[in-house]
Amino acid sequence: MSTNANAKPSVMKQAAMQITAGGSAGFIEVCLMHPLDVVKTRLQLQVKKPVAGSKTVYYNGVFDCFSKIARQEGVLAVYKGILPPILAETPKRATKFVCFEQYKTSLQRALGFDKATPFIYSLAGLGSGVTEAIVVNPFEVVKVSLQANTGKATSTWTVAKEIINRGGIGLNGLNKGLTSTIGRNGTWNLIYFGFYHSVKDIIPQCQSPTADFFRKTGIGFASGTIASIANIPFDVAKSRIQGPQPIVGEVKYKTCMKTIVTVAKEEGFGALYKGLVPKVMRLGPGGAIMLIAYEYVYEFLQHRFP
């Protein structure tokens, strides 16, 4: 590696490269994994199995959900709600990664450590998750509304305007479910970054680039999977709050913890893990894709713009 490549870039240049690498990683991940997010949301929105003769569509697992969506709504329906994530992914992943890197550096300096520790990685991840949640929550509200729609496709802009007209941009409208999104993203990023960077520091780097790629991929997959299992109750609460309410005109799901308690009481503790399989199927490999894409794009930018 050249001397220029080893020279530490300015804070502004570092941040610009982190934003670019994070946005690229997010765009790649959402394009590949979005159909599983649609399936996860549909499963989480199911309150109970409808009675015989009901027009409500019931999904009996991941593959049944895929099959029914494709058969009844068209193959491309599995990409419903993809525009808000695509529009959000650049700022979302950019926020995730740049905040993590900056929080990590600031915490390391403030606590007087020579290098980052698992505690610093986790705390920086928590901070990045909270910041990310505040940025992306309006996109999440629109996305869930689009994904919950089992009828004719509606445009993103139409749904966004309806939400704003109905509830404004506050906690009853475009920022509905904000605390649940903070709980979901904060928990996920805390574990995701904390586990990945801590384990990556423990497992020695492989000399072969191919072997090292699979080392990072395996750790990234484990990070995304563990984080997804830990944060899914918040995700279920978010979907219930941001999605259509069971009874028209009645707000049953309003606050994060009350929704979690209500779901567990009425439907059993297992209901808090609805959508876990498609979530893990998406964010296990998706977590690996994001980290690997981020690291390789960031490394490329460091060499390209020393």
- Whole-number pLDDT of residue 264: 96
More confident residue, 257 or 139: 257
Highest-confidence range of 1-15, 19-33, 120-134, 156-170, by mean pLDDT? 120-134
Region 243-260 average pLDDT: 88
Domain boundaries, the chain: 3-304
**Tokens in use for 234?**
């918040």
8 A C-beta contact, residue 167 and residue 174: yes
pLDDT computed for residue 224 by the predictor: 93
Mean pLDDT over 166-187 rounds to 94
Mean pLDDT over each residue of the chain, to the nearest integer: 87
pLDDT band at 180 (very low <50, low <70, confident <90, very high): very high
Return the number of other C-beta atoms located less than 10 Å from residue 49's C-beta. 11
pLDDT of residue 275: 87
DSSP string, the chain: --HHHHSPPPHHHHHHHHHHHHHHHHHHHHHHHHHHHHHHHHHHH--SPPPTT-------SHHHHHHHHHHHH-GGGGGTT-HHHHHHHHHHHHHHHHHHHHHHHHHHHHHT-SS--HHHHHHHHHHHHHHHHHHHHHHHHHHHHHHH--SS---HHHHHHHHHHHHTTSTTTTTTTHHHHHHHHHHHHHHHHHHHHHHHHHSPPPSSHHHHHHHHHHHHHHHHHHHHHHHHHHHHHHHHHHS--SSTT-----SHHHHHHHHHHHH-GGGGGTTHHHHHHHHHHHHHHHHHHHHHHHHHHHHH--
User: What percentage of the chain has pLDDT greater than the value 90?
Assistant: 43
In this structure, which amino acid lies at residue 164? Answer: I
pLDDT at 3 over 60: no
Long-range contacts of residues 254-259, Cβ cutoff 8 Å, at least 24 apart: 255/179, 256/177, 256/179, 256/180, 256/183, 259/180
Residues whose CB falls within 8 Å of the CB of residue 300, separated by 6 or more in sequence, listed in order: none
Q: What is the pLDDT of residue 7?
A: 54
Which range among 27-31, 150-154, 214-218 has the greatest average pLDDT? 214-218
> Mean pLDDT across the stretch 56-79?
87
Q: At 139, which amino acid appears?
A: F
Q: Model confidence over 106-160: pLDDT tens digits?
A: 999 999 998 899 999 999 999 999 999 998 899 889 988 888 877 776 788 898 9
Residue 241 has pLDDT above 80, yes or no: yes
Q: Give the model's pLDDT for residue 2.
A: 40
Lowest mean pLDDT among 57-61, 92-96, 151-155, 245-249: 151-155
- Whether domain 3-304 has CATH 1.50.40.10: the reply is yes
Identity of the amino acid at 129: G
Higher per-residue confidence, 88 vs 270: 270
Say what the pLDDT of residue 1 is.
Answer: 36
At residue 273 the predicted structure's pLDDT band, cuts being 50, 70 and 90, is very high
Say yes or no to pLDDT of 55 above 70: no
- Among 83, 143, 48, 100, smallest CA distance to 295 is for 100
